[in-house]
Amino acid sequence: MALENWLREVRDKAKAALSKPSPYGRDVDVTRYVEYVVGKEPKLIEERAREVGVDFSAKAIYTQVDQAYFRYLSRIPGIEVKSIEDFIEEDPDIARDYVWKLLDPALDKYTAVAALKGRGGFFIRVKENIRVDDPVMTCMFMSVGGLQAPHNVIVLEKGSQVTVYTGCTIAPESFGLHVGLSEFYVGEKAELRYVMVHAWNNVTHVRPRTVVHVAEEGKYISYYVNMSRVRTLQTYPKVIQESNTYALQASVLLGLGDSEQDVGGMSVLKGHESRSEIVSRIVARDESKVVSRARITTGVNVAARGHIECRGMLLSDRAVVETIPELEALSPNAVLTHEASIGKLAEDEINYLVTRGFKRDEAVGILIRGFVSIDVKNIPDRVKKHIETLERIVAEKAL
């Protein structure tokens, strides 16, 4: 009965917010998508998933197709992988400590529709002091379309360390609304490296909602890349940091066609000696519009450090890039800085490479790849190779 009451409270909150728009990004009519539910495993999934770096030979993996097909396993001792429904059903009392604790189902219409109509999502738990280099792989694939709204929870217990790699993609002919809910708990002295790669199509709306809590002496390192022409994308992940923590939110955004992207990141430095970096690289061509938001705020009388770096590159006279860095210091002991720049490729740099024997397109590709490259430390070599490949693909698609 306690479980039923809890879930009823979540649904009641969600129902009250079904018409509540997000303050950022284009508004979307969510009612257009809620009736589509499919559940087969198409052969196309492995081909498309490999394009976003998902390795199906991984020792721990979670796969979801639309809202009705799930497959998961873990052969890594100390790492548990389940669907969110199985986790709630098997451990309802523990689930209440992690599910809908950081995210509010009434945040906006997207969290609301996910709470009411969403299915699936992964639960990953890394036991105390378990530290592994093999990444946990997850894949969200939309085969026909409609609504896909998984609810993902990651829990790292004290002293643990893991890399979670998520690839999200869609069949070329599909259309839909993807709302990925994520609640991550990084325990004391634990470290979570999270890599998320999106490759959607030009009729898909994407609305991830993420909140991360980092306990004392914990680390959270995230790398996000959008490498395709999405119709609209809007997300604003929030990281809450306790004392002596470090967080890096890095993102690479490629604007193509007439896509609209409003992507941000926020860090709340609650504890002393907490540090945060928010870094973004934006490449916009055609008639795309990309807005990059970043906000760092401190607690009262907290000694903390934060830095925002937003850089945009325009490859078209019709493309638009907007950067919005925000800093809020509630303590004289806080040190917060930011730098932002938007421009185009410098002709002298292109000409220099041409004189060295490169064709003009090759020179432009080299410069774009250098521009989007972000030095993400502490990522395993296996995952770093995926990131280098993604940077190359972004540069190629930008040409």
Q: Report the distance separating Cα 350 and Cα 346, nearest Å.
A: 7
The residue among 396 and 91 whose pLDDT is bigger is 91
- Mean pLDDT, residues 51-79 taken together: 91
In this model, does residue 312 exceed pLDDT 60? yes
Examine the pLDDT at 39 and tell me if it is beyond 60: no
Per-residue model confidence (pLDDT) at position 363: 86
Whether 383 has a pLDDT exceeding 80, the answer reads no
Region label for 75, one of left (φ > 0), alpha (ψ between -120 and 50) or beta (otherwise): alpha
CA neighbours closer than 13 Å in the CB half-sphere of residue 92: 8
Lowest pLDDT segment from 32-41, 340-349, 353-362:
32-41
Please give the Cα distance from 379 to 301 (Å, whole number).
33
Name the pTM for this structure: 0.94
Q: How confident is residue 225, by pLDDT bands cut at 50, 70 and 90?
A: very high
Instruction: Give the pLDDT confidence of 157-191 residue by residue, as tens digits.
Output: 999 999 999 999 988 777 889 999 999 999 999 99
- Which of 95-99, 129-133, 173-177, 390-394 is least confident? 390-394
The HSE-up count of residue 136 (CA atoms within 13 Å, CB side) is 29
Residue-averaged pLDDT of the chain = 91
For 17-21, 54-58, 92-96, 393-397, which range has the lowest pLDDT when averaged over its residues? Answer: 393-397
